[in-house]
Amino acid sequence: MRKPISSHLLKTASLLLALGLIVAFLAVGAYFTIFAPHSGYSLARNDGAWANFGSYVGEVLGPLFSFLAFAGVLMTVWLQAKQLDTLHAQANYEEIQRLISNISSNVDTLLAQSPNQHIDHHCLRDAPISIFTVISAAGTAALSSPSDYTRKASQERLIEVSKEAIATEATAIGLELEQLSWCLQQYQDQNGSPTVIEFYKRRYNAIVCWLDAIGKLDSHHKVQSYFEPKAFRKFLEP
């Protein structure tokens, strides 16, 4: 976790203060070591000695404290600039999170819709028909390799009628998944939460894999590179 800017500022101020105190102690200590023996280690009783001591302290420590004050101002300005950069990065980070959430909502809405065309196939007669169920049925059929000729012909027919029925919706879902892949990559590049990234991958790995299996993601290169549906097929093959 990043330390807040106030923590850095407090640490810097403490270091400058400690440096000033150390130098002040050394300067006074040097004066005391040199002149104290001549007075028998007793305080001077004339104004001239105290005036000399005041001039010494002012000429030695004055420039030092002025430099430390200037350094403190520069450090404060630098930390404030760094804070502005951090706030800008945080705003960009939150905007990407918002985009990911919105795109995910769009994909879910599309998947929940009913196809505009009727699908006449026995595999889909008993199930509630939605874009998701059509894609999952067609995708599962595309990933299977039946040895029986009749079953294979039935699955090929299912894939054909499904692709025709959801052509428009599948195109829209592919475009949304392309944007989602780009946003997730940006989020990952900005050290986004691995848990959030893994959540979205797990959420859409199956649908991406099914769409890829029926040939609906061939031109969506960002989806291919980010979700790697062909590598995920082994988990969905019947």
pLDDT, one tens digit per residue, over 99-126 is: 999 999 999 999 999 887 666 655 665 5
Same domain, 146 and 211: yes
- Last residue of one domain, picked from the residues 24, 57, 89: 89
Helix axes 131-143, 149-165, angle to 10 degrees: 140
Same domain, 85 and 117: no
Q: Do the domain assignments include residue 64?
A: yes
- To 5 degrees, how large is the angle CA 167–CA 134–CA 123? 130
In which band, very low, low, confident or very high, does the pLDDT at 1 lie, cut at 50, 70 and 90? very low
Q: Do the domain assignments include residue 136?
A: yes
Same domain, 76 and 135: no
Q: Do the domain assignments include residue 108?
A: no
Q: Which long-range contacts (CB under 8 A, 24 or more apart) does 222-230 make?
A: 222/178, 222/181, 222/182, 222/185, 223/174, 223/177, 223/178, 223/181, 225/181, 226/181, 226/184, 226/185, 227/177, 227/181, 227/201, 229/205
Nearest-angstrom CA–CA distance, 176 and 208: 11
Same domain, 228 and 176: yes
Same domain, 222 and 121: yes
Same domain, 153 and 85: no
Same domain, 128 and 65: no
Q: Do the domain assignments include residue 170?
A: yes
Q: Do the domain assignments include residue 223?
A: yes
Same domain, 61 and 134: no
Give me the residue label for tokens 């939150």: 94
Q: How many domains, the chain?
A: 2
**The model's pTM:** 0.66
Q: Where are the beta strands (DSSP E) in the chain?
A: none
Same domain, 122 and 73: no
Q: Do the domain assignments include residue 125?
A: yes
pLDDT digits (tens, 9 = 90+) for 130-159: 899 889 989 998 998 777 777 788 888 888
- Answer for the pair 64, 23: CB distance below 8 angstroms, yes or no: yes
pLDDT digits (tens, 9 = 90+) for 207-237: 999 999 999 999 999 999 999 999 888 877 7
Q: Do the domain assignments include residue 101?
A: no
pLDDT of residue 43: 66
C-alpha closest to that of 214 among 150, 181, 167, 147: 167
Tell me which residue range forms the domain holding 166. 113-235
Same domain, 180 and 222: yes
Same domain, 125 and 213: yes
Q: Which two tokens stand for residue 134?
A: 């059509």
Same domain, 123 and 58: no
- Answer for the pair 237, 222: CB distance below 8 angstroms, yes or no: no
